[in-house]
Every structure is written in structure tokens, then in C-alpha cells.
Structure 1
């Protein structure tokens, strides 16, 4: 009888569960762990795709390129107004009315070129070079007829740049300078140019 009691106590756990139920608890833990792992990479689900990174806006957007522009000498006692955004040359500009104008070419007092916005020389024809020239190789606010008639201050091949009244970047390339004959009273040169315009992100 004593031996039978010992065998029975060993087969039953202190809380009354059989050994088989102990294995079931162990399997239950494995199952729970597997459920937790199922949410990981091995579960077969894919992570949501990342949103595409937006492309940065271009600093300069070409509006037009190498548009012919001829700035003729103004008639006696008149002024020519130049709008580079349009572009438009107005040979009968009124004194003092320069809204929307980048420069004037005048034959009244202090005859010559007058710049309403800063113009600079550019070392090249890329927009980045053009923009740098506006700030680092800036021309004086006016160029008198005497300097223009020498044909050297704004010579053929010169590249001029400015930020316009509408905040565009304009580039003028001088392709020809027609200097008047010596002794031609009151005359100033004609400037044959091409105009390129970019919109800027500024």
C-alpha cells in the first residue's frame, strides 16, 4: 500500500494538474510567443511604402532665350525706356516715369544710359554666373554719352545681367556696337543685343 501511494503522488502535480497539462502550458507559451513574432518581418506583411521626397524647385526657369533686341540711339531731346520683362522698347519715354523699366537711353541732360535697377557684367552665360555678376561686378548707375561713343565701355561681346522689376533674371549679350561717325553731333551708339530671361526662385 505504501508504494502505491508514492507512485500516485509523483504522477500528479501539487496543484492537481497532470504532467500532460504542464506540457500544454509550455506549448501555450510557445504559441503566444509565435503570435508576437507574427507581427515582425517573418509574418509576411510588408511595411507601408515611404512617401517620395519632393524634388527641390529649380533656382532658374528659362522663359525665353537669345531674343533679338536692338537699342537705337534716342532722337534729340527724347528718352528710350527699356522693359526687359515684356520685353519692350519705348522710344518716347517720359522723364521720371520709370515704373517697370530697367534702364533708359536718353538724349536730354546727362545724355547716356541710366540704370533704374543695378546691372552688372557677367563672366559667362550660365544663370548662376549672371546672378553673381549683378552683385559683384556692378556698373555705375549711369554711363555718359562720351564713354559710350568710345565704344569700349560696353563693347561687343559684353554680357550684362540684372534682376528686373518683376524679379526675373535678365541677360543681355552685346553682339554689335554701331558707333556714330566722328563729328556726328548729339549722336550715340546703337547697341545690337540678344536677351535671355529666367524666372527665379527668389
Structure 2
């Protein structure tokens, strides 16, 4: 099986690094390590809280869609890294270890949008729903930009992570909706 990406930086990656150049002593560089350490913990805690909230409301399919999406994204990102074995960019501001492509953090960050879509749910307050989902999208973008600016990922790693996350979470969400619609049809036929 051939490689999906070149192991070095593409011209797009080089332009992205130039656009978000971060100096070692900058605020972002100093904040990067704590953010990288606590980010996955906060995301994991948020996922568990949302799943518990959905379960309490007996929205089992939505809860399973979120959980399934996170587990599947983590698995696929791990398999992608093992298959590609793309080294991380040189000059990282923190030690990330492992391979670079695709960005697991970026793929999982898309889950924040999925959580926002589920949490906002159908509502009379369309502006609030749009605001919640837009905020999650903005946070997802900030996470990807941070990963590139501290040089733990190439931009192409982040883009691939976002694409994978969007695909997986959309598939999980659509599957949950299809099962829910089928259950409703079956219930009305009885």
C-alpha cells in the first residue's frame, strides 16, 4: 500500500508554518505544554459528561453515536499513523512523540462539533443553536492551528484529521438517526 502523504513538509505545510511562526519563548510556546497535557483530559471528561447527560435523558442512540465516534476516530487515527509512519515536524515546541499523520487531536476535536450538534438539539432558539455549533467549530479550528503553530503537526496532518473526524462522526450520527427513524416507524406500525 502506498503512502498517502510525503513524509516531508509539503509547500502547503511550509506556508502554514511561516504563517503561524511561534518563537520558543513566546506565551504560546510556554502555554503549549499544559494545554497539550490537559486538553485530552478535558475532552475526555466532556465526552463522559455529555454521554451521561444523554443517557439520563434516555437518548441512548445519541450517546452511543458520540461514544462510538470517539472510539472509532481514536482507532482509525492509530491505524493511520501506523500505516503512514510520517515523522513529526522538526523543531516542535513540545515533545509529542509518535507519528504525525493523521492528527488524532484534530480528528477528536471534530467531536466537539458533534457534541454541540447533539447538545443543541432541535430548539426554538435557532440563533443559540447556531452559536453553540459555531463556537465548537471555532474551538476545533483553534486546536488545529495550535498544533501547527507549536510544530507538533503539519497542516496536512491536521486537515486529514479534520476530514477523518468529520467523516466518522457524520457516519455515526447518520447511523443513529437511521436507527431512530426505523424504531419510530416500527413503533407506529404496531
Instruction: State the TM-score bracket (shorter-chain normalisation).
Output: under 0.3
Rg larger in structure = 1
Question: Which one scores higher on RCO, CA 8 angstroms, separation ≥ 6?
Answer: 2
Larger proportion of helix: 2
- The normalised TM-score by structure 1 is 0.19
Larger proportion of strand: 1
